């Protein structure tokens, strides 16, 4: 699974409710994209920014959706809400197995 993570600030003219409404509209676009799994949307108080994580089946599916997102009518309000993009990355999620480990001195 691929995690697409974007950290960003919001235009100072926007309220949190306006941002969340724009996010809900953009959800319509994402849910109709091939490979979409789910989305997490959080505020990071430490960095004073929003973190948007979208989970995809593959990197190609994530990139295809990212290419179409800025120009999709459902995403116009969300794109306009973004003040500054701090980071944008695709992360390959790794599932780790729990194993018993013996530590020897």
CATH for 6: 3.30.70.100
For the stretch 63-81, pLDDT in tens is 999 999 999 999 999 999 9
Enumerate long-range contacts of 59-62, CB under 8 Å, 24 or more apart. 59/2, 59/90, 59/92, 60/35, 61/2, 61/33, 61/34, 61/35, 61/36, 62/2, 62/4, 62/35, 62/90
For the stretch 31-56, pLDDT in tens is 999 999 999 999 999 989 999 999 99
Q: What is the reported pLDDT for 99?
A: 55
Q: What is the reported pLDDT for 93?
A: 78
Q: Which domain holds residue 60?
A: 2-92
Query: Backbone phi, then psi, for 17, in 5-degree steps?
Result: -65, -40
Do the domain assignments include residue 99? Answer: no
Q: What is the reported pLDDT for 103?
A: 55
Kindly state the tokens that stand for 96: 């780790």
Q: Tell me how many domains the chain contains.
A: 1
């Amino acid at each position: 699974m691929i995690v697409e993570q974007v950290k960003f600030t919001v235009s100072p003219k926007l309220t949190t409710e306006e941002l969340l409404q724009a996010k809900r509209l953009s959800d319509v676009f994402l849910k109709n994209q091939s490979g979409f799994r789910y989305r997490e949307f959080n505020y990071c108080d430490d960095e004073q920014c929003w973190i948007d994580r979208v989970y995809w089946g593959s990197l190609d599916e994530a990139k295809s959706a990212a290419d179409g997102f800025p120009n999709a009518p459902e995403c116009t309000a969300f794109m306009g809400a973004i003040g500054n993009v701090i980071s944008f990355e695709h992360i390959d999620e790794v599932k780790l197995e729990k194993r018993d480990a013996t530590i020897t001195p």
